[in-house]
């Protein structure tokens, strides 16, 4: 029995990270799986007739300890991993996959679930109970419960293999990110780079006992170099390395992993009676079918492509006039875009960064959440954490009731994957009359403070923080009975609404005035800069939209393909898909798919379109706030009551219409993006 298998004797029952040892995980998982199996046996061996309470509800609350351990372990595998944890993950993932199959392929258990499902008309269930019943029944039927014995075994083999391949994919991407270093010893090679980025590169080199300036593929190092460094050859070296992650035909290569994952997902879908993996996935999404997704992406493509091509042509012309660049390459995009933006709007990130000190932005997003949703945030230093950089907060309502515990992890390090995400250490649910509150975490990779400067965020990083905090609000404000319907447990193409809608406040004067003050003088961000931020918000929106569409089309090409067995080259397949959206010349050494973690490691397979789908929802939703006022309490309360707190209790469109009073229209997004004219 490890510390992970006992109730946590900590403040608010938070995870006792400092007391957990790596060697605790495997025995803890084995013990928790054993206990979860016993809970399943108790359901299947119950001599009483199946009821909603003794079967469906009991099933949803089973395995609570196993879920808790899994949340802790796999969150650390993303944010604070090492070789030992990765090795344990490879051992544990097949065990969890096997256990999951043991449940979904348990004929006795399914017969009980089916009995309740077949008698639901007589049960007088609440909407939440109906949704849970439907979800549990589909959880079985969509995962092989109706298959014959030999097909069930095939499904087990596929799921086991997929769990290992996805892990291996992520490990390879992380290893490739950590492996590349560009040490510069001549300061002339840093020409154009802002002082803060130079100092960070110097400090990074020092931390590794190297002389010079160290540039890596971690975003806080990579993005400033690609945006500001004058040395075109070095930008090329860095861009090619980033684009070639896990595409180098070495021990970290992901080409075979991509092909295996795609083919196994297709086989799995076929086994379950679906045409493709995308058909399987989208049955449980707002979009419903691959055709609907393709139509959605193609409709956006039609609107965005002319704008993108014009923007690209203008950028080519600008680079040619400025520096005689004959062919604009991928490593030129960010550099000349930034220069053109400065010329058009007289605005660049270096002007803005002094007004976005990380601590102030955190305080700002907290204040906005307080104004909208009556939340109070109090930093608590007595909560155990998994790394010294992590900040911990107690979140309460205006009456002092606990709403959530929030972890915030902002800086890159070797054991942490790139990007930004929100996750859950413990979900919200109501059991035995007690509303058990959630433990939520947001993870980002921002520039660390240096010896002379605090962590100053680019405007893009500010919107990233707001985005992840929007997800966090969805988790923190959850108020449902059942854990599997709580918080962000919603249709995947709805989950981005709370995150993307909150980004809108970053552009509003009333919100910026709450936190955008100069880190040295304390002066409020000048009105002219706010005006420029708003004016530049749609800069290169056509190109950005085209980029997102290209990723969505690539995802669908892998997962709605009816003959994946015929694909033998990841690069050739990808190049064919990108023809419709291509602006820059191809880079032969690069491949997107081999590091496309969203779809090959994360949960976005057949779902990358969700970002644009949710943008339609968020633009339409924020239009409502703009009509009534960005801090309008009535609109905020409706959003909290009908969206943020409701989790997956009902169909998302029902929840959305209850908030908005109507279905969303793409016009709001297209107007905001400047892709159609304002009326």
Whether 623 is catalytic is no
Cβ atoms of 460 and 507 closer than 8 Å = no
Cβ atoms of 604 and 572 closer than 8 Å = no
Measured between alpha carbons, how far is residue 133 from residues 47, 67, 484 in Å? 21, 20, 11
Summarize pLDDT for 370-415 with one digit per residue, the tens: 999 999 999 999 999 999 999 999 999 999 999 999 999 999 999 9
Which of 468, 503, 508, 615 is the catalytic position? 468
The pair of three-digit structure tokens given for residue 46, joined into one six-digit string:
């119950």
Q: Give me the domains of the chain, ranges plus CATH numbers.
A: 3-104+106-146 (1.20.1050.40), 180-243 (no CATH)
Strand 429-431 and strand 421-426: the pairing is unpaired
pTM, entire model: 0.88
Summarize pLDDT for 480-494 with one digit per residue, the tens: 999 999 999 999 889
Per-residue confidence (pLDDT) for residue 108, from 0 to 100 = 96
Of 223, 209, 213, residue with least CA distance to 189 = 213
Per-residue confidence (pLDDT) for residue 348, from 0 to 100 = 83
Residues 6 or more apart whose Cβ sits within 8 Å of residue 402: 12, 394, 395, 396, 437
Cβ atoms of 292 and 281 closer than 8 Å = no
Summarize pLDDT for 246-279 with one digit per residue, the tens: 999 999 999 999 999 999 999 999 999 999 999 9
Per-residue confidence (pLDDT) for residue 678, from 0 to 100 = 57
Per-residue confidence (pLDDT) for residue 484, from 0 to 100 = 97
pLDDT confidence bin for 636, thresholds 50/70/90: very high
Among left, alpha and beta (phi > 0; psi -120 to 50; other), residue 540 is: left
The DSSP result for 63-82, as a single string, is: THHHHHHHHHHHHHHHHS--
Q: Does the pLDDT of residue 669 top 90, yes or no?
A: no
Consecutive H or E run containing 406? strand 402-409
Per-residue confidence (pLDDT) for residue 534, from 0 to 100 = 87
Residues 6 or more apart whose Cβ sits within 8 Å of residue 95: 29, 30, 33
């Amino acid at each position: 029995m490890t510390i992970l298998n006992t109730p946590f004797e900590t403040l608010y029952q938070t995870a006792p990270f400092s007391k957990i040892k790596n060697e605790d995980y495997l025995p803890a998982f084995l013990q928790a799986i054993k206990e979860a199996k016993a809970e399943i046996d108790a359901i299947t061996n119950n001599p009483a007739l199946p009821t909603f309470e003794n079967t469906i509800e009991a099933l949803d609350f089973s395995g609570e300890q196993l879920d808790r351990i899994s949340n802790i372990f796999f969150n650390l595998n993303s944010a604070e991993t090492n070789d030992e944890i990765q090795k344990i993950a490879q051992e544990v993932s097949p065990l969890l996959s096997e256990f999951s199959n043991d449940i979904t392929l348990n004929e006795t258990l399914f017969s009980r679930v089916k009995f309740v499902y077949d008698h639901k008309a007589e049960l007088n269930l609440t909407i939440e109970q109906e949704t849970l019943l439907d979800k549990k029944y589909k959880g079985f039927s969509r995962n092989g419960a109706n298959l014959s014995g030999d097909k069930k075994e095939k499904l087990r083999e596929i799921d086991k293999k997929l769990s290992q391949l996805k892990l291996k994919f992520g490990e390879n991407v992380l290893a490739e990110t950590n492996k590349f270093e560009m040490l510069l010893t001549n300061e002339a090679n840093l020409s154009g780079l802002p002082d803060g980025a130079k100092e960070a590169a110097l400090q990074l080199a020092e931390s590794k006992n190297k002389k010079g300036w160290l540039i890596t593929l971690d975003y806080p190092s990579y993005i400033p170099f690609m945006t500001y460094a004058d040395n075109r050859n070095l930008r090329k070296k860095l861009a090619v390395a980033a684009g070639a992650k896990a595409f180098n035909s070495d021990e970290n290569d992901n080409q075979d992993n991509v092909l295996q994952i795609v083919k196994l997902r297709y086989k799995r879908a076929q086994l379950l009676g679906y045409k493709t993996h995308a058909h399987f996935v989208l049955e449980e999404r707002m979009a419903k079918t691959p055709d609907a997704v393709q139509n959605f992406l193609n409709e956006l493509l039609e609107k965005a492509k002319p704008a993108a091509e014009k923007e690209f042509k203008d950028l080519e012309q600008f680079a040619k006039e400025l520096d005689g660049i004959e062919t604009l390459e991928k490593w030129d995009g960010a550099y000349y875009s930034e220069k053109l933006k400065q010329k058009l709007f007289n605005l660049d990130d270096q002007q803005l960064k002094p007004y976005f000190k990380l601590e102030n932005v955190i305080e700002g997003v907290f204040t906005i959440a307080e104004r909208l949703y009556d939340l109070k945030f109090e930093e608590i230093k007595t909560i155990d954490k998994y790394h010294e950089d992590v900040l911990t907060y107690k979140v309460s309502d205006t009456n002092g009731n606990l709403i959530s515990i929030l972890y915030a992890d902002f800086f890159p390090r070797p054991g942490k994957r790139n990007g930004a995400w929100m996750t859950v250490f413990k979900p919200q649910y109501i059991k035995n009359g007690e509303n058990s509150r959630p433990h939520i975490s947001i993870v980002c990779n921002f520039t660390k403070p240096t010896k002379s400067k605090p962590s100053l965020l680019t405007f893009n990083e500010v919107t990233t923080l707001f985005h992840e905090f929007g997800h966090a609000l969805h988790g923190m404000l959850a108020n449902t009975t059942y854990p599997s319907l709580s918080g962000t447990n919603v249709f995947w193409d709805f989950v981005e609404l709370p995150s993307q809608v909150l980004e809108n406040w970053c552009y509003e004067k009333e919100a910026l005035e709450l936190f955008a003050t100069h880190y040295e003088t304390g002066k409020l961000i000048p009105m002219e800069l706010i005006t420029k931020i708003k004016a530049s918000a749609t800069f290169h929106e056509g190109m950005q939209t085209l980029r997102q569409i290209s990723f969505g089309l690539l995802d669908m090409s892998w997962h709605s393909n009816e003959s994946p067995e015929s694909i033998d080259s990841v690069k050739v397949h990808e190049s064919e898909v990108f023809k419709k959206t291509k602006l820059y010349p191809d880079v032969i050494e690069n491949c997107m798919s081999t590091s496309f973690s969203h779809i090959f490691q994360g949960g976005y397979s057949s779902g990358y379109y969700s970002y644009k789908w949710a943008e339609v929802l968020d633009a339409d939703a924020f239009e409502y706030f703009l009509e009534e006022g960005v801090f309008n309490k009535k609109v905020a309360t409706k959003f909290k009551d009908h969206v943020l707190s409701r989790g997956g209790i009902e169909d998302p469109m029902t929840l959305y219409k209850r908030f908005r009073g109507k279905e969303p229209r793409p016009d709001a997004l297209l107007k905001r993006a400047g892709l159609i004219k304002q009326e």
